[in-house]
Amino acid sequence: MARLAAVLEVARREARHLRESRDRLFPGPVDAAWVERLERDPVLAERVDGFVARLWRSRTRWETAPSLPSWRRWRSPWAPRSTT
């Protein structure tokens, strides 16, 4: 049970950091003007790249976490489904 609590705490912290990054990066709606700004603002483009990389690593880490296989199957839309 302690291991599960530790895993959940790490997941909560990671989710909080991702939310905070998202809120700073996307303070308003993403529209065509915002996307066009990426070409003119290399700092913003780098922040988006970093955010996407962190989000992908987080998703991949939790999708492949050996500690929570049944949770993964239940929660994840990407988890393989049984065909039987």
Amino acid 79 reads A
Amino acid 2 reads A
pLDDT values of the chain reduced to their tens digit, one per residue, 84 residues: 777 788 788 888 888 888 888 898 888 889 999 999 999 999 999 999 988 888 888 777 666 666 555 555 555 555 555 554
Ranges of each domain in the chain:
2-61
Nearest Cα to 55, choosing from 9, 19, 7, 6? 19
What would the two tokens of residue 79 be?
Answer: 């988890």
Assess contact for 78 and 63: CB atoms under 8 A.
Answer: yes
Q: What are phi and psi of 2, to 5 degrees?
A: -65, -35
Q: Give the DSSP letter of residue 67.
A: T
| pTM for this entry | 0.58
Residues 6+ away with beta carbon under 8 Å from 74: none
